[in-house]
Amino acid sequence: MTDANGQAPPDLVELFQSLSRPQCDERVLVLQSVGIGSQLVFAGGRWHLFVSADDATLAHQQLERYARENPPRPIPPAPPPRQPYAEFGSLVYALVLVLVGYLAGVSAFNLDWLGAGALQAGDVQRGELWRTVTALTLHLDVAHLVANLGFGMLFGYFAGQLLGPGVAWASVLGAAVAANLVTALVQTPAHSSAGASTAVFATLGLLAAYGWRQRHAIVERWPYRYAPILAGVALLAFLGVGGERTDVLAHLAGFVTGVMAGWWHGRASRGVPLRGGGQLLLGVLAIAVVVAGWWIALAADY
């Protein structure tokens, strides 16, 4: 209660005020739990919490304790701005897979594209490192191609929105090539595989780790912070370990290298994101690596 001049009566002491009624209600409940009565008064556009003068010292101690044990939650940072032209990166990815699939299917230039570009572990171990690149663009059947087109374009689009298409696809290519190299080095020389699924799971790992790093600094419950990683692992388990001809090791390696790339980008993203010409340059560089890989592969097989 207040008097005509807006002042508290002499026997009441104001302990708290806020524009928010719920904040005052919380403190009323805190005081009630220890047997202290209180009054709420709305005046001057704010809520005021009063207690009797006899209870003021104990009430003040209880509210201070409550404030220490219940610090205000930090405001989550604004989500990073979405980068433009993410769809173009996904379209180029699709174009490359379809073009290579067509050329391999018709044995263009009278060459065995699958034999020249597949990830033959023994050949990679002997130095044919271009296979770690070319194998990403080959597929054993149409169903395999369509699946990798769908998931790859979707995941790549999200990555392009976060990092820009040039940075995203250059990172995915680097992570997938590294995963193919690791796979070839640890497998037996007779091991052979092909497909963009390694790149697809590298993109998934990149998204998962990038999302985790963005939430890492937020003081929040651990399920919120680790939700992107948990979701990525769940998708890996759901999509990456089934099927008779599934190369589980390649999928796992792609996810892990993608996580490493996403972790790095998430940590480095505090600066100004690369834009314009830099994105284009990295995108062209990624395409050039694929073209160069096939140039070397076909020249070696000619």
pLDDT, position 194: 94
- Considering the segment(s) 86-301 as one domain, its CATH architecture is Up-down Bundle (1.20)
Residue type, 302: Y
Q: What is the pTM of this model?
A: 0.73
What phi and psi values does residue 158 have, to the nearest 5 degrees?
-65, -40
pLDDT, position 73: 66
What phi and psi values does residue 16 have, to the nearest 5 degrees?
-160, 150
Helix (H, G, I), strand (E, B) or coil at 118: coil
Q: Which CATH class is domain 12-69?
A: alpha beta
d(CA 291, CA 220): 46
| Helices and strands per DSSP (H, E), number in the chain | 12, 5
Domain borders along the chain are 12-69, 86-301
Reported as half-sphere exposure (CB side, CA atoms, 13 A), residue 139 has a value of 22
Q: Write out the chain's pLDDT in tens, 302 residues.
A: 344 344 545 578 898 998 889 889 999 999 999 999 998 989 888 999 999 988 999 999 999 998 888 876 666 566 667 899 999 999 999 999 999 999 999 999 999 999 999 999 999 999 999 999 999 999 989 999 999 999 999 999 999 999 999 999 999 999 999 999 999 999 999 999 999 999 999 999 999 999 888 776 554 555 556 666 777 777 777 775 665 567 889 999 999 999 999 999 987 665 456 777 899 999 999 999 999 999 999 998 76
